[in-house]
Structure 1
Amino acid sequence: MTYNFPIIGIGASAGGLEPLELFFEFAKPTADFAYVLIQHLAPNHKSLMDELLARHTKLPIQIIQHNMPLERGNIYLNPPKKFVELHEGRFVLSEKEDRKLSFPISTFFNSLAEQGHEKACAIILSGTGSDGSEGIKFIKEKGGLVIAQNPESSKFDGMPKSAILTGAVDKVCAVEQMHQELESFFSNTVELDRQKLDSKDSKTVIASILGTVYQQLAVDFTDYKYTTVSRRIARRMSLLGYSEMAEYLDFLKVHRDEAQLLSKELLIGVTRFFRDEEAFEYLKNSVIPKLIAENQETKSMRVWVPACSTGEEAYSIAILIRDYLRIHKLQYEVSIFATDLDKESIKLAANRIFPENISSEIPPEYLHLYFIPQRKGFTISKEIREMIIFSVHNVVQDPPFNKIDLISCRNFLIYLNSNLQQRLFSLFQYSLRTNGFLFLGSSESLGDASDDFLEIDKKNKVFANKQNKKNDSTTSVFG
């Protein structure tokens, strides 16, 4: 379902009442928005939030019920002991007891991202912990807006600070400014939607924008898909209040920091641990045992994770390999090269303190064995961290790695046009040894490169390199 009005998801916890009252005092009764408030509620106490907020707004307030339709011009409040999600214009409630751990804000934001896309907004207000910080990444990935309360104005700054550390927050501001940001972003988005982005004039301006980025940063985005590029440029324009691409181009030319921000926008660095559980389960049960057996003589393994973003995918693979070696009492030298073009992402990946809500993504046995609890989340164990070499690397322009057993390049190729995809597949064939494995994302395919790889598992997107380009010898993948 496509929504024709913005949906504003608001996450609040301890100290959230005062900013919520202030937020809705500034909400216009005529605003074309729907507001969904997800707060941490005591399970056995009746919430008075509806009565308290009614003193500060004329908008109708409703406690969410299962299958209730979502309509503009309303404020919706989550009920106690329930998780709230959206599906085809209606609310879906589920029992908290059915979930491993309680992160209701991130749960709703994930759902909002999938349903709302560019019409979604996530706002993080005062609260302890890190709930919401994983969910906002997906709002950002789908083109929505992410706002965090200024930590200095928050009674409890844990949630806003955790959100800001993800790099997915677009605006950090006082509560009084939030409606101005909402109206600016969504009114400009409406104007940009009306432009004919496929027109010759628009394509010419976008080419100039990408040329300016290349001139300033030496990063070439010309082979990214036009739909992706135009949508991300439009998003930056909305954030800055521009409705004309030519005006944005003029701004870009004189503000070097904007080229960096647009570049980060185009890189779309959203990841999570064990993303697509079934695919990682296949990697664990079928690919890793095969790789260990094939490297029994050298007792070494080399893995490359290009476009690794903030490192969750690389850490996930390291955990699976280390756990297999632990169970089978084996000692191998494992080198995982995790690379990305974004310097900030690489810096963050190499020195991670993961938020507490990663515990909803990671099997309990892995969490216990390979993560160290900290006051504000988790750090990765030394044995996992030492397996990975994080480095800044342009997969298109820099020399590739070689003698690689496994390349995991997931959810990156979908943003590139077919010509660049084929160039990368050729590069991967050079990097992988004969029979080395290629692991792609669920929506990605080999296209014209399918003759160079053997399909090992169609559903989980696992392929084997038929022949290394530097090596004429070939053997059966499972022979």
Structure 2
Amino acid sequence: MPGSRPHNAKADRPRWLQGPLWASSRADFPIVAIGASAGGLDACRKLLDALPAHNGMAFIIVQHLDPSHDSMMVDLLAGHTSMPVLLATDGMRIERERVYVIPPGVYLSVDEKGSLRLSKPQARHGARLPFDFLLNSLARHHGARSVCVVLSGTGADGSVGLKAVKASGGLAIAQDIGEADYDGMPRSAIATGGVDLVLRVAKIAEALVKREQGQVFAPERPKSSAQKLVEDLLPDIIALLRTKTVHDFALYKHGTLERRVERRMALAGVKTASKYLEFLFRDADERDQLSRDLLINVTGFFRDPAVFDFLAKSVIPDLVRDHPLNRPLRIWVAGCSSGEETYSLAMLFREQIDASKRDVKLQIFASDVDPDAVASAREGLYPDSIEADVSPERLAQFFIKEDRFYRISAELRSNVVFTVHDVLTDPPFARIDFISCRNLLIYLLP
């Protein structure tokens, strides 16, 4: 018709799928990774029962399986959905409205083109973490289209990978621990502080569908004059922590703080914000636990690779080339969390210094307000799931393999000084050539 606009199919998609961010060779729909172990079969069935057939998403199920026996998962799940349920094979293309199930005895990952990849676990002994392995690849290659769902199970598989999903802009959901047959996996996921929603399985399906449709899923939250919400009492909670602990959270984003307070309430078994505030007044240990939870420790090696590529090509070479040899090149990483960003920068600077053949001394100060995070960073020990983010060459040069972990080499570790430091109250480091505060500013108000 004259004057009418041509139909724009892209405009019909949710906003998070629009724009040139993703290459056309990649899938332009949500990829939902579902992890479970003990009790997971029943939870997976309930989830598929609650999902409509036409939902616009792809689903990948990682159920811990006995590697010595054939899996019956495909047959056991097929009767609970009209979507095709397929045993994953190497190179299989991921498509909308399909359910892919991991075979026994393998690791399953996703490549940048939206295909499934199977590999043999490197560790012959010790705990295997196939869900972490999948989540790391999914976050790395598919960013904001990644969804992590942690269902019933024992252990902590998924707790590391969901941080990568969150760091890439994806969504993390855990099954309500009161509904899960075994609450180890969802409880461990919730304890990371990275979970967006804690829901019963039927509500998980509803949240996924609404997100794909571009709608906001809002869990029911009763509000009355007698029962105040966390948002109403958050200023009182912040004031209490400022008075009774060493931390001041007044400048942190309130939405993030509210979610973390609600998570602590659930773990403490407290139903209302008013009761929880009373609990905080009485219990010093809970105040400390809440403070640690509010100190957000979500990070990863080479988080947002494009930023590190830019630094490696356009910033670090000039810094190394022009730096005088009579003083150290001084770097400050503010909000270092558990150390991944610090060591990522250390690797880039060390590589450039070696390539330049200049005798530049590297001195990195890494600080965080959380003593536990600093202690973890000092130890420099990380699970083998970092293989998804760190190249084999860097793993060989800068790490030492210890069973199913990687430890930062003593040589790289010697370049870094870790310390507890609060940028809101403590004086800054002086004579600094390069400052990284990416892991800090994203959590603060303007």
**Common topology (TM > 0.5):** yes
Is the 2:280–2:286 contact (alpha carbons within 8 Å) kept by the matching residues of 1?
A: yes
Instruction: Look up the SS of the partner of 2:401 in the other structure.
Output: strand
Question: What's the CA shift for 1:415?
Answer: 1.7
One-letter code aligned to 1:96? R
2:236 alignment counterpart: 208
Count matched residues. Answer: 372
Q: Does 1:96 find its partner at 2:96?
A: no
Measured at CA, do residues 301 and 237 of structure 1 come closer, stay the same or move farther in structure 2, by a change above 3 Å? same
1:322 alignment counterpart: 350
Deviations 1:94-144 (A, max 9, x none): 131799999862365465994587xx54258468xx964531324677784
Measured at CA, do residues 281 and 369 of structure 1 come closer, stay the same or move farther in structure 2, by a change above 3 Å? same
Is the 1:11–1:132 contact (alpha carbons within 8 Å) kept by the matching residues of 2?
A: yes
Instruction: Look up the SS of the partner of 1:407 in the other structure.
Output: strand
Is the 1:272–1:313 contact (alpha carbons within 8 Å) kept by the matching residues of 2?
A: yes
Q: Which of 286, 292, 304 is residue 320 of structure 2 equivalent to?
A: 292
**Higher relative contact order at CA 8 Å, sep ≥6: structure 1 or structure 2?**
2
Measured at CA, do residues 146 and 260 of structure 1 come closer, stay the same or move farther in structure 2, by a change above 3 Å? farther
Is the 2:162–2:194 contact (alpha carbons within 8 Å) kept by the matching residues of 1?
A: no
1:252 alignment counterpart: 280
Pairwise mapping of residues 310-389 of structure 1 onto structure 2 (< 5 A)? 310-389=338-417
Question: What's the CA shift for 1:290?
Answer: 1.5
Give the Cα–Cα distance (whole angstroms) in 2 for the partners of residues 23 and 97 of structure 1: 22
RMSD: 4.9
Question: What's the CA shift for 1:407?
Answer: 0.3
Give the Cα–Cα distance (whole angstroms) in 1 for the partners of residues 109 and 361 of structure 2: 45
Give the Cα–Cα distance (whole angstroms) in 2 for the partners of residues 109 and 287 of structure 1: 31
Q: Which of 190, 198, 209 is residue 219 of structure 2 equivalent to?
A: 190
Instruction: Look up the SS of the partner of 1:354 in the other structure.
Output: strand
Is the 1:84–1:108 contact (alpha carbons within 8 Å) kept by the matching residues of 2?
A: yes
1:137 alignment counterpart: 163
Is the 2:131–2:161 contact (alpha carbons within 8 Å) kept by the matching residues of 1?
A: yes
Q: Does 1:106 find its partner at 2:135?
A: no
Give the Cα–Cα distance (whole angstroms) in 2 for the partners of residues 296 and 191 of structure 1: 60
Question: What's the CA shift for 1:205?
Answer: 1.2
Give the Cα–Cα distance (whole angstroms) in 2 for the partners of residues 26 and 259 of structure 1: 34
Give the Cα–Cα distance (whole angstroms) in 2 for the partners of residues 359 and 223 of structure 1: 35
1:77 alignment counterpart: 101
Question: What's the CA shift for 1:346?
Answer: 0.6
Q: Which of 278, 291, 305 is residue 306 of structure 2 equivalent to?
A: 278
Is the 1:371–1:380 contact (alpha carbons within 8 Å) kept by the matching residues of 2?
A: yes
One-letter code aligned to 2:192? A
Give the Cα–Cα distance (whole angstroms) in 1 for the partners of residues 355 and 417 of structure 2: 24
Question: What's the CA shift for 1:286?
Answer: 2.2
Question: What's the CA shift for 1:145?
Answer: 5.3
Greater displacement, 298-307 / 32-41: 32-41
Measured at CA, do residues 378 and 108 of structure 1 come closer, stay the same or move farther in structure 2, by a change above 3 Å? closer
Measured at CA, do residues 27 and 108 of structure 1 come closer, stay the same or move farther in structure 2, by a change above 3 Å? closer
Greater displacement, 362-371 / 399-408: 362-371
Measured at CA, do residues 378 and 27 of structure 1 come closer, stay the same or move farther in structure 2, by a change above 3 Å? closer
Instruction: Look up the SS of the partner of 1:412 in the other structure.
Output: helix
Measured at CA, do residues 42 and 230 of structure 1 come closer, stay the same or move farther in structure 2, by a change above 3 Å? closer
Measured at CA, do residues 269 and 170 of structure 1 come closer, stay the same or move farther in structure 2, by a change above 3 Å? closer
Give the Cα–Cα distance (whole angstroms) in 2 for the partners of residues 67 and 388 of structure 1: 45
Deviations 1:42-91 (A, max 9, x none): 9999632344x57xx99559625843438xxxx97346889577xxxxxx
Q: Which of 396, 412, 421 is residue 440 of structure 2 equivalent to?
A: 412
